[in-house]
Structure 1
Amino acid sequence: MHPSKVNRAELSQLTDLPNIGPAMAADLQLLGIHTPQQLIGQSPYQMYLKLCDLTATQHDPCVLDVFMSITRFMAGEAAKPWWDYTAERKVMLRSLSKPI
């Protein structure tokens, strides 16, 4: 659903979440997530790695941005478009790949 249309009081299915359509809802179900409330306390990074592992596919990093958007939303942040998390994701991944 587009972030501007999300109603926090009406979160009964995954497609009620910001940035989640039928295809991404199916990916969440592969991860064992069937309700929005199951996202509370989840790590978007671990979710992304698990999805890649389960599907034996290196998913587009934008999937991680979507996971960031929905876990943050369920933690109480405002609904934002997934691309608002792209810069943060890039910084995080760059810092992980730097040698110590």
Structure 2
Amino acid sequence: MNPDKVDRSRLRKLTDLPNVGPATAKDLVLLGVHNVDGLKGQDPMALYLKLCELTAQRHDPCVLDVFMSLVAFSEGEEPKPWWHYTDERKRLWPEL
């Protein structure tokens, strides 16, 4: 969902989360995440690496940006577009 449209009181399905569409929702389920609480305390890089392992493919680094946005949101930050996290990801993990 577009981060500008997210309403914390209406998080009924994964696609109600910021930056999550059907494909990302499917990836989250594959990772064992079924709601926003399942993202609290998670390590975005660990989620990304696990997804790459489970699907036997290297995913676009932007997927890591999405995971960073979701973990931050789950821990109380305001919803932000995934690209807000790109510079931080590049700083933390320049090898991607």
TM range (shorter): over 0.9
Q: Equivalents in 2 of 1:35, 1:91: separation in Å?
A: 28
Q: Equivalents in 1 of 2:41, 2:12: separation in Å?
A: 18
- What are structure 1's unaligned runs of at least 5 residues? none
Q: Equivalents in 2 of 1:78, 1:66: separation in Å?
A: 14
For the pair 1:48 / 2:48, whether they are aligned, the reply is yes
Aligned residue pairs, count: 95
Q: Structure 1 length as normaliser, TM-score?
A: 0.92
Q: Equivalents in 1 of 2:23, 2:41: separation in Å?
A: 22
Counterpart mapping for 1:73-92 below 5 A: 73-92=73-92
Counterpart mapping for 1:58-73 below 5 A: 58-73=58-73
- What are structure 2's unaligned runs of at least 5 residues? none
Name the Cα RMSD after superposition: 0.8
Q: Structure 2 length as normaliser, TM-score?
A: 0.95
Percent identity reads: 60
* Residues 11-52 of structure 1: per-residue CA shift (max 9 Å, x gap): 121111000000100000000111121111111110000000
Q: Equivalents in 1 of 2:22, 2:35: separation in Å?
A: 13
Letter of the aligned partner of 1:84 in structure 2? H
Mark the structure with the bigger radius of gyration.
1
